[in-house]
Structure 1
Amino acid sequence: MRADARKNHDHLLAVAGAAITAEGVDVSLRDIARRADVGLATLLRHFPTRETLLDALLRTRFDELTVRAAELERSISPADALVSWLRDCVACAHEYRGVTALMAAAIEDPESALHASCVAMRAAGARLLARAQAAGTARTDIDGTDLFALVAALAWLADQSSLAPRADHLFDVVASAILVSAGSSHAEGERRPRTRS
Protein backbone atom coordinates (compact mmCIF):
# COMPACT_ATOMS: atom_id res chain seq x y z
CA MET A 1 0.00 0.00 0.00
CA ARG A 2 1.34 3.42 -0.96
CA ALA A 3 2.25 5.80 1.85
CA ASP A 4 -0.65 8.17 1.14
CA ALA A 5 -3.12 5.28 0.91
CA ARG A 6 -1.78 3.87 4.20
CA LYS A 7 -2.17 7.27 5.82
CA ASN A 8 -5.80 7.50 4.64
CA HIS A 9 -6.46 3.92 5.75
CA ASP A 10 -5.06 4.58 9.22
CA HIS A 11 -6.99 7.86 9.50
CA LEU A 12 -10.25 6.11 8.65
CA LEU A 13 -9.55 3.39 11.22
CA ALA A 14 -8.78 5.96 13.92
CA VAL A 15 -11.99 7.88 13.19
CA ALA A 16 -14.02 4.66 13.02
CA GLY A 17 -12.58 3.53 16.35
CA ALA A 18 -13.56 6.80 18.01
CA ALA A 19 -17.03 6.70 16.46
CA ILE A 20 -17.65 3.12 17.57
CA THR A 21 -16.38 3.88 21.06
CA ALA A 22 -18.82 6.79 21.26
CA GLU A 23 -21.82 5.40 19.39
CA GLY A 24 -21.39 1.62 19.36
CA VAL A 25 -20.85 -0.83 16.51
CA ASP A 26 -24.08 0.19 14.78
CA VAL A 27 -22.82 3.68 13.96
CA SER A 28 -23.50 4.31 10.27
CA LEU A 29 -20.72 4.12 7.72
CA ARG A 30 -21.97 7.44 6.34
CA ASP A 31 -21.45 9.03 9.77
CA ILE A 32 -17.93 7.59 9.99
CA ALA A 33 -17.14 9.02 6.53
CA ARG A 34 -18.53 12.41 7.56
CA ARG A 35 -16.43 12.42 10.75
CA ALA A 36 -13.35 11.49 8.69
CA ASP A 37 -14.14 14.34 6.25
CA VAL A 38 -14.26 11.98 3.27
CA GLY A 39 -17.02 10.79 0.99
CA LEU A 40 -18.78 7.51 1.63
CA ALA A 41 -17.30 6.15 -1.60
CA THR A 42 -13.80 6.76 -0.24
CA LEU A 43 -14.61 4.88 2.97
CA LEU A 44 -16.13 2.01 0.99
CA ARG A 45 -13.08 1.86 -1.27
CA HIS A 46 -10.98 1.07 1.80
CA PHE A 47 -13.62 -0.95 3.67
CA PRO A 48 -16.35 -2.33 1.37
CA THR A 49 -18.55 -3.53 4.24
CA ARG A 50 -19.11 -2.80 7.92
CA GLU A 51 -17.60 -6.20 8.74
CA THR A 52 -14.37 -5.51 6.86
CA LEU A 53 -14.06 -2.22 8.75
CA LEU A 54 -14.71 -3.93 12.09
CA ASP A 55 -12.30 -6.73 11.19
CA ALA A 56 -9.52 -4.25 10.46
CA LEU A 57 -10.30 -2.37 13.67
CA LEU A 58 -10.76 -5.33 16.00
CA ARG A 59 -8.46 -8.03 14.63
CA THR A 60 -5.37 -6.24 15.92
CA ARG A 61 -6.91 -5.94 19.41
CA PHE A 62 -8.00 -9.57 19.46
CA ASP A 63 -4.58 -10.71 18.26
CA GLU A 64 -2.96 -8.60 20.99
CA LEU A 65 -5.11 -10.38 23.59
CA THR A 66 -3.99 -13.75 22.22
CA VAL A 67 -0.34 -12.71 22.48
CA ARG A 68 -0.97 -11.23 25.93
CA ALA A 69 -2.32 -14.57 27.14
CA ALA A 70 0.91 -16.30 26.11
CA GLU A 71 3.00 -13.63 27.86
CA LEU A 72 0.99 -13.95 31.07
CA GLU A 73 1.24 -17.73 30.94
CA ARG A 74 5.04 -17.47 30.95
CA SER A 75 5.38 -14.73 33.54
CA ILE A 76 2.94 -15.03 36.45
CA SER A 77 0.96 -17.55 38.45
CA PRO A 78 -1.97 -19.35 36.77
CA ALA A 79 -4.61 -17.57 38.86
CA ASP A 80 -3.06 -14.11 38.39
CA ALA A 81 -2.59 -14.73 34.65
CA LEU A 82 -6.22 -15.72 34.24
CA VAL A 83 -7.59 -12.71 36.12
CA SER A 84 -5.24 -10.27 34.40
CA TRP A 85 -6.19 -11.57 30.95
CA LEU A 86 -9.89 -11.54 31.85
CA ARG A 87 -9.62 -7.89 32.89
CA ASP A 88 -7.82 -6.99 29.63
CA CYS A 89 -10.44 -8.84 27.59
CA VAL A 90 -13.34 -7.11 29.33
CA ALA A 91 -11.66 -3.73 28.78
CA CYS A 92 -11.30 -4.47 25.06
CA ALA A 93 -14.92 -5.60 24.74
CA HIS A 94 -16.11 -2.53 26.67
CA GLU A 95 -14.06 -0.12 24.57
CA TYR A 96 -16.14 -0.85 21.48
CA ARG A 97 -19.77 -0.87 22.60
CA GLY A 98 -21.82 -3.69 21.18
CA VAL A 99 -18.84 -5.71 20.00
CA THR A 100 -19.57 -8.72 22.21
CA ALA A 101 -22.57 -9.71 20.09
CA LEU A 102 -20.39 -9.49 16.98
CA MET A 103 -17.70 -11.60 18.65
CA ALA A 104 -20.20 -14.29 19.62
CA ALA A 105 -21.63 -14.37 16.10
CA ALA A 106 -18.16 -14.46 14.53
CA ILE A 107 -17.13 -17.47 16.61
CA GLU A 108 -20.13 -19.39 15.27
CA ASP A 109 -19.61 -18.28 11.64
CA PRO A 110 -16.46 -19.62 9.92
CA GLU A 111 -17.18 -17.28 6.99
CA SER A 112 -16.95 -14.18 9.19
CA ALA A 113 -13.88 -12.00 8.70
CA LEU A 114 -13.55 -11.93 12.50
CA HIS A 115 -13.88 -15.70 12.99
CA ALA A 116 -10.21 -16.69 13.16
CA SER A 117 -9.10 -13.94 15.53
CA CYS A 118 -12.14 -14.42 17.82
CA VAL A 119 -11.61 -18.19 17.98
CA ALA A 120 -7.89 -17.73 18.69
CA MET A 121 -8.64 -15.22 21.45
CA ARG A 122 -11.21 -17.51 23.07
CA ALA A 123 -8.78 -20.45 22.84
CA ALA A 124 -6.07 -18.36 24.53
CA GLY A 125 -8.41 -17.65 27.43
CA ALA A 126 -9.38 -21.32 27.59
CA ARG A 127 -5.69 -22.26 27.90
CA LEU A 128 -5.22 -19.84 30.79
CA LEU A 129 -8.32 -21.26 32.45
CA ALA A 130 -7.14 -24.86 31.95
CA ARG A 131 -3.74 -23.93 33.41
CA ALA A 132 -5.39 -22.44 36.50
CA GLN A 133 -7.66 -25.48 36.78
CA ALA A 134 -4.65 -27.82 36.59
CA ALA A 135 -2.99 -25.80 39.36
CA GLY A 136 -6.11 -26.18 41.50
CA THR A 137 -6.79 -22.45 41.56
CA ALA A 138 -9.84 -22.24 39.25
CA ARG A 139 -13.13 -24.09 39.45
CA THR A 140 -13.32 -27.04 37.09
CA ASP A 141 -16.98 -26.82 36.11
CA ILE A 142 -16.44 -23.99 33.60
CA ASP A 143 -14.71 -23.92 30.22
CA GLY A 144 -13.51 -21.45 27.60
CA THR A 145 -17.01 -20.85 26.28
CA ASP A 146 -18.21 -20.00 29.79
CA LEU A 147 -15.26 -17.67 30.25
CA PHE A 148 -16.10 -15.90 26.99
CA ALA A 149 -19.72 -15.52 28.14
CA LEU A 150 -18.52 -13.96 31.40
CA VAL A 151 -16.40 -11.47 29.43
CA ALA A 152 -19.50 -10.52 27.43
CA ALA A 153 -21.59 -10.15 30.59
CA LEU A 154 -18.99 -8.00 32.33
CA ALA A 155 -18.56 -5.79 29.27
CA TRP A 156 -22.35 -5.36 29.08
CA LEU A 157 -22.44 -4.32 32.75
CA ALA A 158 -19.78 -1.70 32.14
CA ASP A 159 -21.88 -0.32 29.25
CA GLN A 160 -24.91 0.30 31.49
CA SER A 161 -24.74 3.80 32.91
CA SER A 162 -26.60 2.84 36.09
CA LEU A 163 -24.28 -0.12 36.72
CA ALA A 164 -20.98 1.25 35.44
CA PRO A 165 -19.94 2.55 38.91
CA ARG A 166 -20.21 -1.05 40.16
CA ALA A 167 -18.35 -2.62 37.21
CA ASP A 168 -15.01 -3.03 39.03
CA HIS A 169 -16.71 -4.48 42.10
CA LEU A 170 -18.72 -6.91 39.96
CA PHE A 171 -15.58 -7.91 38.06
CA ASP A 172 -13.96 -8.81 41.40
CA VAL A 173 -17.05 -10.81 42.39
CA VAL A 174 -16.97 -12.79 39.15
CA ALA A 175 -13.20 -13.31 39.32
CA SER A 176 -13.45 -14.60 42.89
CA ALA A 177 -16.23 -16.97 41.79
CA ILE A 178 -13.93 -18.40 39.09
CA LEU A 179 -10.98 -18.82 41.42
CA VAL A 180 -10.89 -21.35 44.24
CA SER A 181 -8.55 -22.17 47.07
CA ALA A 182 -6.38 -25.22 46.49
CA GLY A 183 -8.34 -27.40 48.91
CA SER A 184 -11.86 -26.64 47.69
CA SER A 185 -14.21 -29.22 46.26
CA HIS A 186 -14.08 -27.70 42.79
CA ALA A 187 -10.28 -27.97 42.73
CA GLU A 188 -10.37 -31.56 43.95
CA GLY A 189 -12.41 -32.54 40.93
CA GLU A 190 -15.80 -33.28 42.43
CA ARG A 191 -17.04 -31.55 39.30
CA ARG A 192 -15.21 -32.69 36.20
CA PRO A 193 -13.97 -30.12 33.71
CA ARG A 194 -15.90 -29.92 30.46
CA THR A 195 -14.05 -30.66 27.24
CA ARG A 196 -15.66 -27.89 25.18
CA SER A 197 -13.47 -24.77 24.63
Structure 2
Amino acid sequence: MADKRQATKKAEAETGAGRKPRADALRNRERLLVAAKTVFSAGGADASLEAVAREAGVGIGTLYRHFPTREALFEAVYRREVEQVAELAERLQGADDPVEALRSWLHRNVELVATKKGMAAALALAAHGDSELFTYSKQRLRAAVGSLLERAVAAGAIRPDIGPHDLLHALIGLCMQHGQPGWQASVRRLIDVLVDGLRVQRGRPD
Protein backbone atom coordinates (compact mmCIF):
# COMPACT_ATOMS: atom_id res chain seq x y z
CA MET A 1 0.00 0.00 0.00
CA ALA A 2 2.85 2.35 0.88
CA ASP A 3 4.50 1.58 -2.44
CA LYS A 4 1.25 2.34 -4.22
CA ARG A 5 0.90 5.69 -2.45
CA GLN A 6 4.48 6.58 -3.31
CA ALA A 7 3.89 5.66 -6.95
CA THR A 8 0.74 7.80 -7.02
CA LYS A 9 2.54 10.79 -5.49
CA LYS A 10 5.38 10.37 -7.97
CA ALA A 11 2.96 10.27 -10.89
CA GLU A 12 1.16 13.36 -9.58
CA ALA A 13 4.46 15.17 -9.13
CA GLU A 14 5.56 14.27 -12.64
CA THR A 15 2.21 15.37 -14.06
CA GLY A 16 2.41 18.68 -12.20
CA ALA A 17 5.98 19.15 -13.33
CA GLY A 18 4.88 18.46 -16.88
CA ARG A 19 2.11 21.03 -16.78
CA LYS A 20 4.26 23.96 -15.67
CA PRO A 21 6.62 23.94 -18.66
CA ARG A 22 3.64 23.85 -21.00
CA ALA A 23 2.16 26.92 -19.32
CA ASP A 24 5.56 28.60 -19.33
CA ALA A 25 6.00 27.70 -22.98
CA LEU A 26 2.70 29.35 -23.88
CA ARG A 27 3.65 32.50 -21.98
CA ASN A 28 7.10 32.58 -23.57
CA ARG A 29 5.62 32.14 -27.03
CA GLU A 30 3.23 35.05 -26.49
CA ARG A 31 6.04 37.23 -25.13
CA LEU A 32 8.15 36.41 -28.17
CA LEU A 33 5.34 37.35 -30.56
CA VAL A 34 4.75 40.68 -28.79
CA ALA A 35 8.49 41.39 -28.73
CA ALA A 36 8.90 40.44 -32.39
CA LYS A 37 6.16 42.85 -33.42
CA THR A 38 7.93 45.67 -31.56
CA VAL A 39 11.39 44.84 -32.93
CA PHE A 40 10.37 44.18 -36.52
CA SER A 41 8.14 47.24 -36.72
CA ALA A 42 10.97 49.46 -35.49
CA GLY A 43 13.96 47.80 -37.08
CA GLY A 44 12.79 46.29 -40.33
CA ALA A 45 13.83 43.03 -41.92
CA ASP A 46 17.40 43.19 -40.58
CA ALA A 47 16.31 43.31 -36.94
CA SER A 48 18.03 40.39 -35.24
CA LEU A 49 16.40 37.44 -33.54
CA GLU A 50 18.72 38.13 -30.61
CA ALA A 51 17.03 41.53 -30.23
CA VAL A 52 13.65 39.80 -30.17
CA ALA A 53 14.81 37.41 -27.46
CA ARG A 54 16.17 40.30 -25.37
CA GLU A 55 12.94 42.26 -25.78
CA ALA A 56 10.97 39.20 -24.65
CA GLY A 57 13.30 38.55 -21.71
CA VAL A 58 14.15 35.00 -22.80
CA GLY A 59 17.23 33.25 -24.11
CA ILE A 60 17.89 32.78 -27.81
CA GLY A 61 17.52 29.02 -27.32
CA THR A 62 13.95 29.53 -26.12
CA LEU A 63 13.19 31.55 -29.25
CA TYR A 64 14.55 28.81 -31.54
CA ARG A 65 12.56 26.13 -29.71
CA HIS A 66 9.37 27.97 -30.59
CA PHE A 67 10.42 29.35 -33.97
CA PRO A 68 13.24 27.38 -35.61
CA THR A 69 13.62 29.88 -38.48
CA ARG A 70 13.23 33.62 -38.98
CA GLU A 71 10.48 32.92 -41.51
CA ALA A 72 8.54 30.83 -38.98
CA LEU A 73 8.63 33.72 -36.52
CA PHE A 74 7.60 36.25 -39.18
CA GLU A 75 4.65 34.11 -40.23
CA ALA A 76 3.50 33.60 -36.63
CA VAL A 77 3.67 37.34 -35.91
CA TYR A 78 1.70 38.14 -39.05
CA ARG A 79 -0.96 35.52 -38.31
CA ARG A 80 -1.36 36.89 -34.80
CA GLU A 81 -1.77 40.43 -36.13
CA VAL A 82 -4.36 39.37 -38.71
CA GLU A 83 -6.32 37.49 -36.09
CA GLN A 84 -6.30 40.47 -33.72
CA VAL A 85 -7.51 42.77 -36.49
CA ALA A 86 -10.32 40.33 -37.32
CA GLU A 87 -11.33 40.11 -33.65
CA LEU A 88 -11.38 43.91 -33.46
CA ALA A 89 -13.95 43.97 -36.26
CA GLU A 90 -16.14 41.63 -34.24
CA ARG A 91 -15.94 43.89 -31.19
CA LEU A 92 -16.66 47.00 -33.26
CA GLN A 93 -19.93 45.49 -34.47
CA GLY A 94 -21.47 46.77 -31.23
CA ALA A 95 -20.29 50.38 -31.69
CA ASP A 96 -22.98 53.06 -31.79
CA ASP A 97 -21.65 54.71 -34.94
CA PRO A 98 -20.97 52.22 -37.78
CA VAL A 99 -18.93 54.76 -39.75
CA GLU A 100 -16.60 55.44 -36.81
CA ALA A 101 -16.33 51.68 -36.27
CA LEU A 102 -15.16 51.29 -39.87
CA ARG A 103 -12.75 54.21 -39.46
CA SER A 104 -11.28 52.71 -36.27
CA TRP A 105 -10.75 49.36 -37.96
CA LEU A 106 -8.97 50.91 -40.93
CA HIS A 107 -6.75 52.93 -38.57
CA ARG A 108 -5.77 49.75 -36.72
CA ASN A 109 -4.69 48.18 -39.98
CA VAL A 110 -1.92 50.76 -40.27
CA GLU A 111 -0.21 48.90 -37.40
CA LEU A 112 -0.58 45.65 -39.32
CA VAL A 113 1.16 47.22 -42.31
CA ALA A 114 3.89 48.64 -40.06
CA THR A 115 4.58 45.16 -38.70
CA LYS A 116 4.41 43.55 -42.12
CA LYS A 117 6.74 46.04 -43.83
CA GLY A 118 9.66 44.87 -41.70
CA MET A 119 9.01 41.29 -42.77
CA ALA A 120 8.17 41.81 -46.42
CA ALA A 121 10.96 39.72 -47.89
CA ALA A 122 10.29 36.69 -45.70
CA LEU A 123 6.53 36.99 -46.02
CA ALA A 124 6.85 37.16 -49.79
CA LEU A 125 8.09 33.59 -49.63
CA ALA A 126 5.43 32.43 -47.19
CA ALA A 127 2.49 34.49 -48.44
CA HIS A 128 2.61 34.19 -52.22
CA GLY A 129 -0.69 33.91 -54.05
CA ASP A 130 -1.10 30.14 -53.71
CA SER A 131 -0.05 29.80 -50.07
CA GLU A 132 -2.25 28.94 -47.12
CA LEU A 133 -1.07 32.07 -45.28
CA PHE A 134 -2.08 34.33 -48.16
CA THR A 135 -5.51 32.69 -48.40
CA TYR A 136 -6.02 32.83 -44.65
CA SER A 137 -5.11 36.51 -44.28
CA LYS A 138 -7.08 37.60 -47.35
CA GLN A 139 -10.24 35.81 -46.22
CA ARG A 140 -10.01 37.00 -42.63
CA LEU A 141 -9.41 40.64 -43.54
CA ARG A 142 -12.04 40.72 -46.26
CA ALA A 143 -14.65 39.18 -43.96
CA ALA A 144 -13.72 41.62 -41.18
CA VAL A 145 -14.01 44.79 -43.22
CA GLY A 146 -17.02 43.39 -45.06
CA SER A 147 -18.99 43.00 -41.86
CA LEU A 148 -18.29 46.58 -40.79
CA LEU A 149 -18.98 47.96 -44.24
CA GLU A 150 -22.26 46.05 -44.53
CA ARG A 151 -23.45 47.50 -41.22
CA ALA A 152 -22.57 51.06 -42.28
CA VAL A 153 -24.30 50.64 -45.65
CA ALA A 154 -27.39 49.14 -44.00
CA ALA A 155 -27.55 52.19 -41.72
CA GLY A 156 -27.61 54.43 -44.79
CA ALA A 157 -24.35 56.06 -43.70
CA ILE A 158 -21.96 54.79 -46.40
CA ARG A 159 -22.58 54.71 -50.14
CA PRO A 160 -23.59 51.21 -51.29
CA ASP A 161 -21.37 50.97 -54.39
CA ILE A 162 -18.19 50.21 -52.41
CA GLY A 163 -17.13 46.69 -51.50
CA PRO A 164 -14.65 45.16 -49.04
CA HIS A 165 -12.23 44.36 -51.85
CA ASP A 166 -12.26 48.04 -52.89
CA LEU A 167 -11.57 49.25 -49.36
CA LEU A 168 -8.67 46.86 -48.83
CA HIS A 169 -7.10 47.90 -52.13
CA ALA A 170 -7.51 51.55 -51.19
CA LEU A 171 -5.86 50.90 -47.83
CA ILE A 172 -2.94 49.13 -49.47
CA GLY A 173 -2.53 52.01 -51.88
CA LEU A 174 -2.49 54.57 -49.07
CA CYS A 175 0.19 52.59 -47.25
CA MET A 176 2.57 52.55 -50.22
CA GLN A 177 4.35 55.55 -48.67
CA HIS A 178 5.44 53.44 -45.70
CA GLY A 179 9.11 54.16 -46.32
CA GLN A 180 8.69 57.86 -45.55
CA PRO A 181 9.15 59.44 -42.08
CA GLY A 182 5.86 59.94 -40.29
CA TRP A 183 4.01 57.77 -42.79
CA GLN A 184 1.61 56.24 -40.24
CA ALA A 185 0.15 59.60 -39.20
CA SER A 186 -0.11 60.60 -42.85
CA VAL A 187 -1.95 57.40 -43.77
CA ARG A 188 -4.39 57.83 -40.89
CA ARG A 189 -5.23 61.32 -42.15
CA LEU A 190 -5.82 59.96 -45.64
CA ILE A 191 -8.02 57.21 -44.22
CA ASP A 192 -10.14 59.91 -42.61
CA VAL A 193 -10.46 61.65 -45.97
CA LEU A 194 -11.42 58.36 -47.61
CA VAL A 195 -14.05 57.44 -45.02
CA ASP A 196 -15.55 60.94 -45.01
CA GLY A 197 -15.74 60.80 -48.80
CA LEU A 198 -17.70 57.54 -48.61
CA ARG A 199 -20.37 59.01 -46.35
CA VAL A 200 -23.84 59.45 -47.76
CA GLN A 201 -24.35 63.20 -48.03
CA ARG A 202 -27.76 64.21 -46.72
CA GLY A 203 -29.45 67.54 -47.40
CA ARG A 204 -26.70 68.59 -49.80
CA PRO A 205 -27.74 71.72 -51.74
CA ASP A 206 -27.94 71.49 -55.53
Question: CA offset at residue 118 of structure 1?
Answer: 4.3
Residue 105 of structure 2 aligns with an amino acid whose one-letter code is W
Corresponding position: 1:20 with 2:36: no
Q: Residue 152 of structure 2 aligns with which residue?
A: 132
Secondary structure at the aligned position of 1:36 is classed as: helix
Residue of 91, 102, 121 corresponding to 1:71: 91
Q: Distance in 2 between matches of 1:99 and 1:143?
A: 28
Secondary structure at the aligned position of 1:181 is classed as: coil
Question: CA offset at residue 162 of structure 1?
Answer: 6.4
Q: Residue 88 of structure 1 aligns with which residue?
A: 108
Residue 135 of structure 1 aligns with an amino acid whose one-letter code is A
Question: CA offset at residue 182 of structure 1?
Answer: 4.8
Q: Distance in 2 between matches of 1:173 and 1:100?
A: 27
After superposition, the C-alpha distances for 1:143-175 in whole angstroms (9 at most, x for unaligned) are: 111211222233343552165563343222122
Q: Residue 109 of structure 1 aligns with which residue?
A: 130
Residue 36 of structure 1 aligns with an amino acid whose one-letter code is A
Higher helix share: 2
Q: Residue 17 of structure 2 aligns with which residue?
A: none
Question: CA offset at residue 91 of structure 1?
Answer: 3.3
Secondary structure at the aligned position of 1:150 is classed as: helix
Tell me, yes or no, if the aligned pair for 1:137 and 1:182 is still in contact at 8 Å.
no
Structure 1 pair 4–152 and aligned structure 2 pair: CA distance change class (3 A): same
Aligned length: 178
Q: Distance in 2 between matches of 1:140 and 1:164?
A: 28
Q: Distance in 2 between matches of 1:66 and 1:80?
A: 16
Q: In angstroms, what is the RMSD of aligned CA positions?
A: 3.4
Residue 68 of structure 2 aligns with an amino acid whose one-letter code is P
Q: Residue 180 of structure 2 aligns with which residue?
A: 160
Q: Distance in 1 between matches of 2:117 and 2:30?
A: 21
Q: Distance in 1 between matches of 2:185 and 2:137?
A: 31
Residue 81 of structure 1 aligns with an amino acid whose one-letter code is A
Question: CA offset at residue 98 of structure 1?
Answer: 4.6
Question: CA offset at residue 178 of structure 1?
Answer: 2.5
162-171 vs 9-18, which moves further:
162-171
Question: CA offset at residue 14 of structure 1?
Answer: 3.6
- Length-normalised TM-score, structure 2: 0.66
Structure 1 pair 94–177 and aligned structure 2 pair: CA distance change class (3 A): farther
Percent identity over the alignment? 35
Structure 2 residues not aligned, in runs of 5+: 1-20
Tell me, yes or no, if the aligned pair for 1:136 and 1:180 is still in contact at 8 Å.
yes
Corresponding position: 1:179 with 2:175: no
